[in-house]
Chain A
Amino acid sequence: MNERYELNKNLAQMLKGGVIMDVVNAEQAQIAEKAGAVAVMALERVPADIRKQGGVARMSDPKLIKEIKAAVSIPVMAKVRIGHFVEAQILEAIGIDYIDESEVLTPADEEFHINKHTFNIPFVCGARNLGEALRRIGEGASMIRTKGEAGTGNVVEAVRHMRTMMSQIRKLQNMPKEELMTAAKEMGAPYDLVVWVAEHGKLPVVNFAAGGIATPADAALMMQLGSEGVFVGSGIFKSGEPEKRARAIVKATTYYNDPNVLAEVSEDLGEAMYSLEISQIDKDNLYAERGW
């Protein structure tokens, strides 16, 4: 079990510095791979469409996921609803590479997340702050991403979540050891993980940015804030020129510190995805609030 968990954290390390792209069919998966994606997220509807169409959003049809898996050689991820461990059992049976227990789908359990320790397959989970991240890791997640606010094309929530996590990590680093138990209590996080973070100054697993990233500049912003890679959901295939934008975001994620490259790749990308102001969204439709 421990060895499997190490291997699963190791796969996330291999994805670092890369872009994971949402795709809804085999053709998009191939475009993503050709553009330089490190992995694809296979799903029926991207978050922007889930938002528009409403209704219960569930795990995708296994047939679709298998088609996407057959179409590419890079790792394939897919989403399950929060707490829906049977959807996770199904994805493990298909033999994909990573499961995202995601707030973008409609939660199946309003109290408990999946006990990810009982699975061999790795999980990535969303978090808004350090406590949430460490609770997910405590449950067995081997990778963390910010929640952001998916399907909005608005990076403000991802920035908030990344800044919150980084600032909480820095605070822990400066605490004397006797303050860590109270810190653990206050953020609702396992004590041993709090101690680990205080000692190492980072999460014990890889930490990506997700939720609202729509431009190369957004991706580079998240990297400069300390993210180790990015997920782009609706931002690519809901834009005017997906292929070009995908390639530009890949380059911006690698050369996030080089404004000359960023300027060059940001040029002439056509129209960005349709976007939303967070304050205009009905409170029930804020995905970041989902998860406990």
Chain B
Amino acid sequence: MLKIGVLGLQGSVVEHISMLQRISEVQPIIVKTKKDIESIDALIIPGGESTTIGKLLEDFSLIDLLATRINAGMPVWGTCAGMILLAKKISNHGKTFLNVMDIQVRRNAYGSQLDSFHTTANIPEVSDSPIPLVFIRAPYVEKVWNDVEVLVKVNGKIVACRQKHMLATSFHPELTNDLSFHTYFIEKMVKPRISSLV
């Protein structure tokens, strides 16, 4: 069984857990402590408020351990707030959080809740069928560097990208019924990593 953690400090935690429960050979775990972080094979950082999750990561001294594990190759996927937490640069925020992925993101880039939207896109790397994308007060990526690969743009803005074992999406696959991104993360990012360790 693969132990897939979902950072459980705040936000759409149970939504990710129930998506993971639909995938075989996966044991989803809510991650709140250092002990939890040490026990997992990969981590999903859910949507929520990045300032809140970031603050709790700092207050409970989880940043260093998490960043160390990610830098050592643990697969990680951030949705929305999670993308902001992974970034090395945040355009409209003074500081960064985990500081691990070579992307520059703009927080809350589309405006207020009235600007939240839903669309679909073809992302050949992830699925053969169009994927529903839900953007809630979402960020987007303004710049990528080094070996970051852009997976999809919506209205000219980068909204999904991957750098080796790190995946970041502006949108929330956990709020839809579509399992494509969760399957992609497990099959293409977690399993190859685990077999390379054996």
A associates with B? yes
Complexed CA–CA distance, A285 and B137 (Å): 37
- With beta carbons under 8 angstroms apart, the residue of A13, A34, A37, A96 that contacts B112 is A96
B-chain residues with CB within 8 Å of residue A35 when the two chains form the complex: 55
Tell me if B136 is interfacial: C-beta within 8 Å of chain A: yes
Give A7-28 as 1s and 0s: 1 = Cβ < 8 Å from B's Cβ atoms: 1101101111110000000000
Tell me if A236 is interfacial: C-beta within 8 Å of chain B: no
The residue in chain A whose Cβ has the minimal distance to the Cβ of B113 is A97
Complexed CA–CA distance, A74 and B54 (Å): 13
With contacts A10-B175, A13-B175, A97-B137 known, is A37 near B114, CB below 8 A?
no
By size class, the interface of chain B is: 35 or more
Complexed CA–CA distance, A16 and B10 (Å): 6
Complexed CA–CA distance, A95 and B108 (Å): 14
Tell me if A121 is interfacial: C-beta within 8 Å of chain B: yes
Complexed CA–CA distance, A255 and B51 (Å): 17
- With beta carbons under 8 angstroms apart, the residue of B113, B137, B175 that contacts A121 is B113
How many A-B Cβ pairs are below 8 Å?
106
Asked if residues B134 and A73 are in contact (CB atoms below 8 Å), the reply is no
Asked if residues A7 and B13 are in contact (CB atoms below 8 Å), the reply is no
A-chain residues with CB within 8 Å of residue B8 when the two chains form the complex: 17
With contacts A7-B134, A17-B11, A97-B137 known, is A36 near B51, CB below 8 A?
yes
Complexed CA–CA distance, A92 and B92 (Å): 25
Give B131-144 as 1s and 0s: 1 = Cβ < 8 Å from A's Cβ atoms: 00010110000000
Which residues of B1-56 are within 8 A (CB) of A?
A: 8-15, 32, 47-49, 51-52, 55-56
- With beta carbons under 8 angstroms apart, the residue of B11, B47, B93, B118 that contacts A7 is B118
- With beta carbons under 8 angstroms apart, the residue of B32, B59, B116 that contacts A10 is B116
With contacts A17-B9, A254-B10 known, is A120 near B32, CB below 8 A?
no
Q: A94 → chain B, closest Cβ, in Å?
A: 9
Asked if residues B55 and A250 are in contact (CB atoms below 8 Å), the reply is yes
Give A144-165 as 1s and 0s: 1 = Cβ < 8 Å from B's Cβ atoms: 0000000000000000000000
- With beta carbons under 8 angstroms apart, the residue of A7, A14, A250 that contacts B48 is A14
Which residues of A34-56 are within 8 A (CB) of B?
A: 34-39
Asked if residues A11 and B112 are in contact (CB atoms below 8 Å), the reply is no
Tell me if A122 is interfacial: C-beta within 8 Å of chain B: yes
Interface of chain B: mostly helix, strand, loop or mixed:
loop
Complexed CA–CA distance, A16 and B6 (Å): 14
B-chain residues with CB within 8 Å of residue A34 when the two chains form the complex: 55
Complexed CA–CA distance, A225 and B15 (Å): 20
Asked if residues A10 and B134 are in contact (CB atoms below 8 Å), the reply is yes
Asked if residues B137 and A14 are in contact (CB atoms below 8 Å), the reply is yes
Complexed CA–CA distance, A65 and B73 (Å): 45
Which residues of A131-184 are within 8 A (CB) of B?
A: none
A-chain residues with CB within 8 Å of residue B15 when the two chains form the complex: 13
Asked if residues B13 and A17 are in contact (CB atoms below 8 Å), the reply is yes
The residue in chain A whose Cβ has the minimal distance to the Cβ of B81 is A14
B-chain residues with CB within 8 Å of residue A39 when the two chains form the complex: 49
B-chain residues with CB within 8 Å of residue A33 when the two chains form the complex: 51
Asked if residues A11 and B116 are in contact (CB atoms below 8 Å), the reply is yes
Give B141-165 as 1s and 0s: 1 = Cβ < 8 Å from A's Cβ atoms: 0000000000000000000000000
A-chain residues with CB within 8 Å of residue B80 when the two chains form the complex: 14
Asked if residues A73 and B107 are in contact (CB atoms below 8 Å), the reply is yes
Complexed CA–CA distance, A92 and B10 (Å): 27
Tell me if B124 is interfacial: C-beta within 8 Å of chain A: no
Asked if residues A38 and B48 are in contact (CB atoms below 8 Å), the reply is yes
Tell me if A75 is interfacial: C-beta within 8 Å of chain B: yes
Which residues of A248-274 are within 8 A (CB) of B?
A: 250-251, 254-255, 258
Give B105-117 as 1s and 0s: 1 = Cβ < 8 Å from A's Cβ atoms: 0011001111011
B-chain residues with CB within 8 Å of residue A250 when the two chains form the complex: 52, 55-56
- With beta carbons under 8 angstroms apart, the residue of B9, B49, B113 that contacts A8 is B113
Tell me if A6 is interfacial: C-beta within 8 Å of chain B: yes
Asked if residues B11 and A122 are in contact (CB atoms below 8 Å), the reply is no
The residue in chain B whose Cβ has the minimal distance to the Cβ of A74 is B49
With contacts A121-B113, A254-B9 known, is A11 near B136, CB below 8 A?
yes
- With beta carbons under 8 angstroms apart, the residue of A75, A254, A258 that contacts B137 is A75
The 6 closest A-B CB pairs, nearest first, are: A36-B55, A17-B10, A97-B113, A38-B49, A7-B116, A36-B52
23 CB-based A-B contacts, threshold 8 Å: A7-B134, A10-B136, A11-B137, A13-B11, A13-B15, A14-B12, A14-B81, A14-B137, A15-B48, A18-B48, A18-B49, A34-B55, A36-B51, A73-B51, A73-B92, A73-B93, A74-B51, A74-B52, A95-B114, A97-B137, A254-B9, A254-B56, A255-B32
